[in-house]
Amino acid sequence: MEVYLEDLALERENIDKLHEVVVEVLEGIIIKAAECGADGISFAEDWGIQDRTLISPDMFKDIFLPHHKRLFKAARQRGLSVEMHSCGYNWAILPYLVEAGVSAFQFDQPTLYGMEKLAEFLQKNKVVLKSPVDVQKVLPTGDKKLIQDNARAMGRLFGGTKGGFIAQNYGDLHGIGVKPEWNMWAYEAFMEFCK
């Protein structure tokens, strides 16, 4: 990855050629998914670390945004919703991804953004959040009250008609030191919004 990140600055012509090949392959996948009756397409790209994006917002806008617009347009024109997963703190590029056509963000660490601020941004742009309770700061604590309070806050902040919220399980509870019981506490609190 280090070489690739260096090449973004040092080998732009070759990077552009590589990206064109990748985008063409992904467009083919999008078209096939739509032909098969899919409702949406999900992109998993980890753009951030704990406190910033891996590249500058300007570099993202210059190099990557045109490709995202092209891919998301191909999906949306075929009636597919667009979900984007990204770990880390990506605040600086969220507006670009919304501009490109994201329907939903899948984040595992929503507290990194400040949940109130993130909810306001997503609702303003009518974008859904798909997320478990924060997998770094909340779920691994094993604190039932904290986990359930956080789950309730997520339902309250992100749910509703302006954006939306999809409660999600984290796929590797064992890997982050979480007992299944702790995860169920979050689900119990999420389910309160179904009543």
pLDDT digits (tens, 9 = 90+) for 87-145: 999 999 999 999 999 999 999 999 999 999 999 999 999 999 999 999 999 999 999 99
Of all helices (H) and strands (E), which one includes residue 190? helix 180-191
- Are residues 88 and 109 in contact, defined by beta-carbon separation less than 8 angstroms? yes
- Are residues 161 and 124 in contact, defined by beta-carbon separation less than 8 angstroms? no
Distance CA 141, CA 185 (A): 12
Cβ neighbours of residue 173 under 8 Å, at least 6 residues apart?
179, 180, 183
- Please tell me whether the overall predicted TM-score, pTM, comes out greater than 0.85 for this model: yes
Token pair 């974008």 is found at: 127
Mean pLDDT, the chain, whole residue set: 95
Distance CA 91, CA 28 (A): 30
Over residues 129-164, the pLDDT tens digits come to 999 999 999 999 999 999 999 999 999 999 877 669
Q: In the predicted model, is pLDDT for residue 195 greater than 60?
A: no
Over residues 4-30, the pLDDT tens digits come to 999 999 999 999 999 999 999 999 999
What's residue 194's pLDDT?
A: 65
Q: How confident is the model at residue 48 (pLDDT cuts 50, 70, 90)?
A: very high
DSSP of 155-187:
HHHH-SSSS-EEE---TTTGGGT--HHHHHHHH
What's residue 192's pLDDT?
A: 86
User: Phi and psi of 17, rounded to 5°?
Assistant: -65, -45
